[in-house]
Structure formats: structure tokens, C-alpha cells
Copies of this chain bind each other. A is one copy, B any other.
Amino acid sequence: MKIKSFHPPQRVLMGPGPSDVSPRVLAAMARPTIGHLDPKFVELMDEMKSLLKYAFQTQNELTMPVSAPGSAGMETCFVNLVEPGDKVVVCQNGVFGGRMQENVERCGGIAVMVQDDWGRAVDPQKLEDALKANPDAKVVAFVHAETSTGALSDAQALVEVAHRHGCLTIVDAITSLGGSPVMVDAWDIDAIYSGTQKCLSCTPGLSPVSFSPRAQEKIRNRKSKVQSWFMDLNLVMGYWGGATKRAYHHTAPINALYGLHEALVMLQEEELENAWARHQRNHLALRAGLEAMGLDFVVPENERLPQLNAISVPQGVDEAAVRALLLSDYQLEIGAGLGAMAGKVWRIGLMGHASNPRNVRLCLGALDDVLGRMQAPITRGVAVDAANLHLAA
């Protein structure tokens, strides 16, 4: 055998996540491990809650990171809020709405699917119609920022419709948090989950979540136990809750939490509004370059996520070969299509630490080179110029 230490290459991560991680976050993760009940670690936990409340723009006491990746954050929301027999309206406009359906059904709930085209925002009118047809629905779930297509939905409008029909709301903010406005209290969201490896510039492995007092009440008054011991918020809160004495639930991933803490300190230093503006600015520059080349976006302009740019693969181009060349010749990772969009699109991320002018230029220049080598039908030599006009403004 004799396997050696692993030394990863230095990539530029412009896919759908993980995105580039700040060196400050990596350095934080390498600090000495302390115990999960150490008084100094309890201080970190309190700060973490404050920092996450700021990121989510909420006063929810039940705001914390789940000790596992975003998929587990999603499942934490569903297993706690959905009881067997509960009807849940799920708005689907991409891959992750389908995963929500899986979650509902595995909790013994009944999923009522509302379908929108992939690459479009969720239509509030369709949700309204579905809720009129299903007056016994208890929960509405939708994806704020569809990572599979780059579509941004109007979370505030969707939550308003759900509440008018007496439903709680579960919102997927994996790709939006830190990159686009996410206003948990102002939009009155009941349960929300995110990931650390997108616009928070952190490594993957944790899932920030937040629950409104209304959601907490539902959890407290459940008729059945939460089916997952690991994700049961009644238990998790004994450790993360505001109590003076913290009860052991599971062993927290200490060093991963150091990293998230540092990422959130950086977000606080930059300030949310500035982070959102930065994501928008770099998106516009990238867009200008892509459009100058003649590449088309999948999502209509007013429904686009600035941090995730899905573009159509030009006719006759081997999309996997392009990604392989970008990786080998530029150490640059962009994403492939997912689900129904596999083979048809690329997903270019400008998330968190990776959303910067250097990456915009690098990506455009690299695409120009590689697509040119593959004789793709694009306009060459104009992409970076077009981006520069935006970056200079």
C-alpha cells in the first residue's frame, strides 16, 4: 500500500461550489483543536450564533450551523417540520426542488409538486393556485437560488402567498446566502438552510439554519418524535441553545467551525450590502464578456443569480472536453450541467471569495482560448475587453 500525504493542486473554483476559500479561513481551520464543551469553545458558539443572525438578517434564537453539509441542513428542516401525513407544496424549478420532494416523502408527508420551467424563477401565481386546490397543505417549500440553473426566485412574494394560506415555509438559500439579499425576518421565512461552500467563502461541511418562533412552536408541538436522532432540533438545541449549561448531544466539528467563524467575521467586516454589490458587479462584468463572445445565458436577465451563471454550450462543442482543458491548462474549475441540464450548460460560479475581477478576467480569457482551440462559434478576443469596461466603471 504505502499511500502518501495528499497535496492538492491549487485550483481556481468557479463552479457551483465549493468556491475559492479565503486563506484566512484555511488558516483558522488549522488552529489547535479544543473540546466541544470547553468554555472557550462555548464563547465561539455564542459568537457564531450572532454572526449567523447577521448573515441571515434575523433575530431567531434558533440559528446555528448543522454539523454536516447543506443536504443535511435541508433534511433537518424537513424532518423537524413535516410529520407523517402532512401535505407539503413543493415548488420545483430545478434539481433541488426534486430533492425536497424526496425529503417530504421520506418523512411520510405528501408532496404536492408545482412545476416551473428549469431556468426560470418560481411563479407565485402557480403556488397560489396550488394552495387554493390544497387547502389542507401545511408547509410550502421552495428554492430561493437554484444551484442547478442559476435562477433566483422572489422569496418574499412566495412566503407571503404561503402565509396567506396558513402554511409554514421552508426555503433553500444554499447558494444565495452572502451573495444576494436573504432577509429572514423581513420576509418572514419560517425555516431556512444554507451551505458554507458557496458565497460564504468557507469549506464545505456545515449547513447554517434558522427557524422562526412559529417553526419552533410547531417543532415543540409535534405529535411524533423527529425520525432522525442526529437532526432532532429538540436535542440539538440542548447544545446550541441559549441555556447556561450546554448538554452534550454530538461532538461538534470543532475545526470546521473555526473556519465558518472566520468566514463570517470576514462577511461582517465587508458588510452584507457590500458583499451583495460585489457579487452583482462581478456578475455584470462576466456577463458583458460572455455576451460579447456570443454565449447565451439560460436564465432571463431579471431572474438571474449574480453568483451562478448558467450558459448554454455552443452547438457542436464537447462540453466535458472544454472543462477538462480549463482544468489542465488554467487550473480553473467550472461546473457541468446537472439533471435535465447535463451536457447542455456550463455553470460558472462567482461566489464569495471567488467573486473578484481577477477571476472574471481569468475565466473569460481561458474560455476564449479553449473555445477557440475547439473552433467553437464564438467571437474571439473581445471578452476581457468587454469585462474591463464594466470593471473600470
Contact = CB atoms under 8 A, between A and B. Distances in A.
A29 B106 contact: no
Contact of A17 (B47, B75, B251): B251
Copies of this chain:
2
A311 B358 CA distance: 59
A316 to B, nearest CB: 23
Interface in A281-329: 327
A303 to B, nearest CB: 24
Interface residues of A, number: 81
Contacts of A229: 71, 75, 99, 102-103, 106
A348 to B, nearest CB: 13
B6 A254 contact: no
Interface in A26-73: 26-36, 38-41, 44, 47, 50-51, 54, 67-72
12 contacts: A3-B47, A8-B34, A8-B44, A9-B32, A11-B32, A11-B33, A18-B35, A21-B32, A21-B255, A29-B30, A75-B228, A203-B255
A251 B10 contact: no
A372 B205 CA distance: 44
Interface stretch (A85-93, A152-160, A209-217, A256-264): A256-264
Contacts of A265: 3-6
Contacts of A21: 32-33, 255
Contacts of A373: none
A54 B354 CA distance: 38
A259 B258 CA distance: 15
Contacts of A38: 11, 327, 333
A337 to B, nearest CB: 11
A225 B106 CA distance: 7
